[in-house]
């Protein structure tokens, strides 16, 4: 009887430990996913801003060259 109680107690501890470990890993993974999403969105936003800036610079540079060299 004592051995059975000890075995049940160990099984209870193991199930609680597994539940705690699963909960902890879920929290960790959700926070990692959130950070990854924020980093990806900021990189994407920065890339879009750089592309728009490059487009404007190219357009203004071409306009300047056109006005300077191709006067009609």
Q: How many Å separate Cα 54 from the centre of its chain? A: 26
Is residue 48 very low, low, confident or very high in pLDDT (cuts 50, 70, 90)?
very high
pLDDT at 71 over 80: no
- What the block records as the tokens of 47 is 């890339």
Query: b/e map of 36-48 (b: 16 or more CB within 10 Å)?
Result: eeeeeeeeeeeee
Of residues 57 and 46, more confidence is placed in 46
Model-level pTM greater than 0.85? Answer: no
Tens-place pLDDT, residues 9-43: 888 888 887 887 888 888 888 888 999 999 999 99
DSSP structure string for 32-72: HHHHHHHHHHHHHHHHHHHHHHHHHHHHHHHHHHHHHH---
Question: Given this model, what pLDDT does residue 43 score?
Answer: 94
């Amino acid at each position: 009887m004592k051995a059975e109680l000890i075995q049940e107690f160990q099984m209870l501890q193991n199930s609680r430990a597994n539940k705690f470990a699963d909960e902890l890993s879920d929290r960790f993974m959700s926070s990692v996913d959130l950070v990854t999403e924020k980093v990806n969105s900021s990189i994407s936003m920065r890339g879009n801003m750089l592309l728009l800036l490059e487009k404007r610079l190219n357009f203004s540079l071409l306009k300047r060259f056109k006005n300077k060299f191709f006067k009609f």
